[in-house]
Amino acid sequence: MITGRRRARGEAGSACRAGTCALAGRFKAKLVQGDDYLLALSRYVHLNPVKVAGMKDKTIEERIRCLRAYRWSSLASYSRGRKALPFVTCAPLLSEMGGKRRQQRRRYRQFVESGLAEDDEDFKAALKASPRCIGGEAFRGWVEERYQKLIEKRRRPEDASLRRVTAPLEAEAVLAAAAQALGVEVGEFQRRRRNSALRGVAARLLVKYRGLTQRDVAARLGVGTGAAASTQIRKAQAWASDDAQLRRRIRRAEETLQALRTGKARGR
């Protein structure tokens, strides 16, 4: 969950003025669906300083220079290793970039700056679609359903809080959704291939949507050990950070799995 003004201010400093901050408002918070949406949100916030009206006529190179020089942003902590403020933790997002820390910083900087060439219209639409969450349609429906159930139990709607509700899916369903999104047969996840992200993607989805440990994932996919499964996951994340098509396919799989999990929760 990304909480409101304090977190966003830590990310983008004075760019988070009323009317410009993605998550402005006291006690405002939004539940974020998965790592892809979280990364897109982080990029959106980090780009706020150069998305203002005064920057519209500048070239991409000029905006990049301004962005790198902007002292009130935490981007320097993410991309150059500058000491972060106490309430900013860079490691979780950087780990999504894959590789060693220096590679993570470089990849994150490239990821953020790539957003200057073309706006992420899909993310902007998702950002505006719900006052309570950022994610796909099925995820938004699940959050809204949970929210309505919670406020029905309380006298004051503002007292309602979101609680994590996990409905684990069967491993077969997770692998089937992953295979469909990636355009392969389920059996491909158990085949050893060089320079392939398939096993890593499947491993990560099994951890997230089935709740398996990395050791369990290793046994399921025939990887060997939990450490080997962890390595496969990190490699897949590194490939995804450089491959937009792979990121889209993973997002499609996650949306399918979230819809399945929502349906399972409703059936309880």
Look at residues 122, 157, 181 and tell me which one is the last residue of a structural domain: 122
What is the C-alpha separation between 74 and 49, in angstroms, rounded? 11
Domain carrying residue 22: 2-122
Using 50, 70 and 90 to split pLDDT, how confident is the model at 112? very high
Assess contact for 173 and 264: CB atoms under 8 A: no
Judge if 11 and 98 occupy the same domain: yes
Residue 72 has which token pair? 């009130």
Number of domains in the chain: 2
* pLDDT tens, position by position, 217-238: 888 998 888 888 888 898 888 8
Look at residues 122, 137, 161 and tell me which one is the last residue of a structural domain: 122
Is residue 145 in a domain? no
Amino acid at position 257, single letter: L
Mean pLDDT of the chain: 80
Q: How confident is the model at residue 157, as a pLDDT?
A: 46
Judge if 114 and 181 occupy the same domain: no
Is residue 150 in a domain? no
Q: Where are the alpha helices (DSSP H) in 130-170?
A: 137-152
